[in-house]
Structure 1
């Protein structure tokens, strides 16, 4: 009889703990999917999508080429166009990501759940983890480090007459800042490391190959820095570019796990209960 009562008490305790966990998860979802938090998330995605889409449009069609610039025609027609710059490719990635995230805000679901069933939600999470966050920080870090060391190696002063300061910050600074804001407003489960890292490395290796293709057909390297580096150091730079992207991937995963640790703990308890 004593054992029976003890067993009943243990079962009641387990049931109460499970109920409390369910209530906390429901409270978390109520706070996360409605009210001020949801409006903030929607605003971040709306402003980011609009900003990057306009940046792409301005980058392609509205840059003013000053009179008397001898390299005007050469700069306009150089092989590969603006698509040879990682900066421009990254802005396209950011515009795609924030547009997908915005569509998910409007038509999908942001509920904290064990496994998102929506293809839109899964696509949003994969693009952010694999491309948007790591490439944005890769671009931001590598650009500003080289710029502060010697801007002529990556963004010559002559470009100040062509490239407005606000656009420079949109494509080299805001990409990282908005990715961080998104990290703190969107709950997501990162893909498996094999899928995420493979996608990230594949993108960067393809870009390195693309840079060399541009060099082969145009006779010029994309960035002035590559012109002065000997072959061994150039190879080190390309490897470092890929490595930095992978580091940024793991940084994003690490920060995501810290920011959303309470939600992951609730989901883990729910999963254990189901099993």
Structure 2
């Protein structure tokens, strides 16, 4: 993909995600307060604390760096600034965007097909547009496909390998805040937690951590394809 076409593609996806973010934020203001059910009120109150939103926000920031990187590759290629932006782009993608996006998609749709009431109750359909639901939980795969298919392979294997620590820190921070909301307000943002006991909740979290870790290594492998692990220097 040429830089011009890549820039246009990333910019188009970014604009759509920014529009979707805006529409998601404005939902509450466009609804009649007397007709909103309790589940949507909770969603609105703690909207920024859903992992879906965290992931969507980071993905949007990643797209900003991708657009800027592609633009700099056209205007001032191989400068220190361009290489720095590209480094941030690759690390953000491998650390959070790739594994967390796959986690959101697989967990959401798996639970949805088992019992949607455990993840996105049908009552929300009256307030939350279907297109926005698919944007947050399906369309987010598009930037992954674009980046993996057309981005240059990365020659920073060790840096990306260590990015697992960043991923675990991100996931750990979210999970801590998630449980704090329940302890402080008595609300489970995702209904599935309400039907599990504490042992099952811990197992569920561990399964997500394992899945996210596996997705991370898949992302690193894809970004470093055609690149070999550097040989250790021999001591004289």
Q: Give the TM-score category using the shorter length.
A: 0.7 to 0.9
Aligned to 1:65: 31
CA RMSD of aligned residues (A): 2.7
Matches of 2:75 and 2:88 in 1, distance apart?
A: 13
Distance in 1 between residues matched to 2:221 and 2:75, nearest whole Å = 21
Displacement over 6 Å in runs of 4+: 109-113
Equivalences, count = 224
Equivalent residue number for residue 225 of structure 1? 192
Larger Rg: 1
Shift in CA distance, 213/109, structure 1 to aligned 2, threshold 3 Å? farther
8 Å contact from structure 2 (residues 51, 174) kept in 1: yes
Aligned partners of 1:154 and 1:225 also within 8 Å:
yes
Structure 1, 221-230 or 41-50: larger mean CA deviation = 41-50
Indicate if the aligned counterparts of 2:62 and 2:97 stay in contact, CA closer than 8 A: yes
Aligned-partner Cα distance in 2 for 1:151–1:76: 16
**Cα offset for 1:39?**
2.9
In 2, Cα distance between equivalents of 1:244 and 1:37: 34
102, 106, 109: which one aligns with 1:137: 102
Distance 1:106 1:116 in 2: 12
Point out where structure 2 has 5 or more consecutive residues left out of the alignment: 231-236
TM-score of the superposed pair, with normalisation by structure 1: 0.73
Query: Cα 1:72–1:38, aligned 2, differ >3 Å: closer, same or farther?
Result: same
Unaligned residue ranges in structure 1 (runs of 5+) = 1-35, 269-275
**Contact 1:108–1:120 (Cα < 8 Å) also in 2:** no
Could you list the per-position Cα deviations for residues 29-67 of structure 1 after superposition, in whole angstroms to 9, with x for gaps in the alignment? xxxxxxx53233212210221122111111111354355
The correspondence for 1:55, drawn from 20, 45, 66, is: 20
